[in-house]
Amino acid sequence: MKKRLLFILTIFIAWLPVFVIQKPVFMFYQYALANNCSLTDYLEVMAHGSLLDCTVAGYLTAIPLLLTLASIWYPGAWLRKVLDHYFLIMSILVSAIFSVDIALYGFWGFRLDATLFFYLQSPTNAMASVPLGILFLQLLFFIVYAIAIYAWFKWILGFMPRQSPLTPAKLKQLRGTLAFVLLGGILFIPIRGGLTASTANVGMVYFSQNQFLNHSAINPCFSLVASLSKQQDFASQFDFYPEEKRKVIFKTLVLAQDSLCSQDSIQVESNKLLTKTRPNILVIIMESFTANVVESVGGEPGITPNLNRLSKEGILFTNLYANSFRTDRGLVSILNGYLAQPTTPIMKYPAKSQTLPSLAKSLGKEGYMADILYGGDINFTNMQSYFYGSGYGKITADHDFPLNSRLNKWGANDDITFSHLYNDIKKRPVSDKPWLSTFLTLSSHEPFKVPFHHLEHPFLNSVAFTDSCLGDFIDKFKKLPAWENTLIICVSDHGYRYPGNMYEYGPLRFHIPMLWLGGAIADPREIDTYANQTDLAATLLNQMGLPTKEYTFSKDIMNPCVPHYAFYTFNNGFGFIDESGITVYDNEGNKVLLKEPRSGNEVRLKKGKVLLQTLYDDMGRR
């Protein structure tokens, strides 16, 4: 009996090196982020990460424990065969999870979670960001790692004590059962995460101000399984404050405040941006256009000459921030005025997303016809159901273009789709119903394969390509009769990690451009008010004299009587920016990652928490 108990403990211990070795491998793989890490950093990552490694090892040991317990009452050779198959399956799963995680982190910026299953509904598109060479290397790595894990446990099985084919005496069976129950109780301690009040969670391995080191310490198996348990009960998440206190603070974040509204501030500049109350509206959502590559909003010069030129002709918003880091969140922020969620996209839940207000629905009540153009797969991330649920009547996607036009992994490149958009607008009768057209570009998305070779850096080259397409489109559009009655809104869906050494959670990662163009604007100007993508809805509708009450999280950028700030979310964290500074908070680690300056941090932190709590309460009700 002692040998059996020792064997189970051996299995538990044997899982630990399997997970510990993942830490330095992960860091070596992400060499661009780990180039300044010392040997001490590597050792601390492995040491702190061992907490979750023990938790996962406990879960993986539970089944062998139960099987060995059963063998006390039903002895025989079956146990060795079953355990052999069990270790084979677990070796494949553990290797697959780590292989996918290590590849995607460079693109996503966070460890593997339930988002994977959402994107795997369209596997071709999900893998389009990953170059073929990396895909082959990851497949090879998966096979080698799985074989190594299985061989390791095959060797461990050799230490399994031989069992007698005879059933032991009842008393011996009862003693053995009791001993295994006690061992199970001990095993529950690492599964639970220790003896303290808190149970195992991702944040328990965080130890550094360097978020990359914290991420490196996370066990991807635990990250994936833990995130699956947080996808449904939204209302119970992020309960930072009692309901009455939340209500009071939230009102100060969205409603007009008399103290902010002085006669002097109203007279500083006219609030009127448009010369038309019912213009045609074209929203161009630019894939991954970070402000860091747009010179007119403080970015690197020479990348977007057309956008820089057009910025002098339109209304440029210089302090706009994306609400999130992915397109599925960015679309909802722009078109629905709804804050992005740090743990899951609401687009994943059509029953909820269709209840959101939207520009298409609001303008549809005024007789607008709404259509969407996207050169990629419209079924990716539930986009088709989302657009229809948001009030769009016509959808043009990759299947509407010939195969020889779909040269990008994602679909048709931006030169093709911009040309299609121009020809479509050219055919529209000038005196017909007003329209809302939305166009989502795609060429500046990984893997950045475009028919344009002006810059060495793949991302910068793809941005320059889309910029050239945009400039050509606008120049041609100006010659159409529709120009005089059209408002064009160019805004990014999210930023991009350029330069590559920036923090995923920092404000530079989320700073994006927004530019209003067209014959319908009153006069060119720059607006430096802190704002979000979500504020587009209230700002536009107020300019048109339309109601905005249902847009809970959207503020009019031009209204001096409401508080102005930027709020963004990253993987289970948020940032809050206003004139007092910036605060970035990590929900997993329960810690402030950035506070500049320190003064005002508590107020900003409180406001950010209230926004997040209100958002998830609202999601829970939908």
First-to-last C-alpha distance (Å) of the chain: 55
Average per-residue pLDDT for the chain: 89
Residue 528 sits at the vertex; the CA angle it makes with 527 and 533, to the nearest 5 degrees, is 85
Domain ranges of the chain: 2-228, 276-621
Q: Are 604 and 570 in contact (CB under 8 A)?
A: no
374: exposed, middle or buried (C-beta count within 10 Å: 0-12, 13-18, 19+)? buried
Residue 595 C-alpha from the chain's centroid: 22
Write down the pLDDT at residue 235: 82
* 315 touches 275 (CB < 8 A): no
Domain 276-621 has CATH 3.30.1330.10: no
List all residues 6 or more positions away from 449 whose beta carbon is below 8 Å from its beta carbon. Answer: 407, 408, 409, 462
The yes-or-no verdict on residue 466 having pLDDT over 90 is yes
pLDDT tens profile 486-541: 999 999 999 999 998 888 899 999 999 999 999 999 999 999 999 999 999 999 99
Q: Percentage of the chain with pLDDT > 90?
A: 64
Residue 366 has pLDDT above 90, yes or no: yes
CA-wise closest residue to 300 among 528, 502, 443, 499: 499
Bridge-based pairing of strands 435-440 and 369-374 is parallel
Residue 484 tokens, joined? 């005089």
Angle in degrees, CA 511, 547, 266, rounded to 5? 65
What are the tokens at 439? 């166009």
Give the tens place of pLDDT for each residue, 549-608: 999 999 999 999 899 999 999 988 999 999 999 999 999 888 999 999 999 999 999 999
Cβ atoms of 509 and 325 within 8 Å: the answer is yes
How many Å apart are CA 166 and CA 506, to the nearest integer? Answer: 65
Question: For 82-109, b where at least 16 C-beta lie within 10 A, e where not — what string?
Answer: ebeeebeebbbebbebbbbbbbbbbebb
